[in-house]
Amino acid sequence: MESLIWFGILMCIGYFVGQHLEQKHYRSIRSRERQTMHIPMMNFGAKQPIPQALDSQMFVGSVVIANDFFKSFSAGLRNLVGGRIVVYESMIDRGRREAVLRMKEDAIAWGATQIVNVRFATSTISGQSQNNANTSVEVMAYGTGIR
C-alpha cells in the first residue's frame, strides 16, 4: 500500500513538473518564432526555377525531445484502447518547431535572406529494452540558406 502511495505522489510530481517544463518550452518557441518570422521558407519542385543567390549553404537544426514518465505511462494506457495519442503529438510538434528554429537561427547568423527546400527527418530513441516506456524522438530539419 505504501508503495502505491509513493507511486501516486511521484506521478503527480511528474505530471505537474512535466506540464510546467512543456509550457515553458512552448513559450520559448513562440517567442523565437516571432523573432525569426522575417526569414521565409519555400519549397521548389524539380522544374521550378530557384531564386538567384550570391551564396548558399546547407543548414541543419536538430533536437531530441523526451516524454516525461507520466506522459509515457498515459500513452501506454491509451495504447490499450487505441486512438490518438495526444502526448506524442505534442512531443513531435515541439520537436519540429524547435528543429526549424535552430536551423533558421543558424541561417540568420550566417546572413541568409531565405531558406529553400526544407525537409524533415525523425527517429525514435528508446531505452535499454523494447518494453521501456520512456520515449524520445530526434527531429532534424534541414534546408538551403541563400543570400
| Nearest one of 66, 65, 62 to 141, comparing CA atoms | 62
- Greater pLDDT, 112 or 66: 112
Helix (H) or strand (E) holding 137: strand 135-146
What phi-psi label fits residue 83: left (phi over 0), alpha (psi between -120 and 50 degrees) or beta?
left
Q: What is the pLDDT of residues 41-96, one digit of tens each?
A: 998 877 877 778 889 999 999 999 887 777 777 777 777 777 777 778 888 899 99
Pairing label, strands 56-66, 114-126: unpaired
What is the reported pTM? 0.83
Q: Is a pLDDT exceeding 80 seen at residue 98?
A: yes
Q: Is a pLDDT exceeding 60 seen at residue 20?
A: yes
**Amino acid 106: pLDDT:** 97
**What is the percent of the chain where pLDDT is above 70?**
93
In 49-133 the beta strands, taken as DSSP E runs, fall at 56-66, 114-126
**Amino acid 130: pLDDT:** 52
Would you give the DSSP letter of residue 101? H
Average pLDDT across the chain, whole number: 86
Strand partners for 40: none
Domain ranges across the chain: 2-146
Assign domain 2-146 to its CATH superfamily.
Hypothetical protein apc22750. Chain B (3.30.110.70)
**Amino acid 112: pLDDT:** 95
Q: Is a pLDDT exceeding 70 seen at residue 132?
A: no
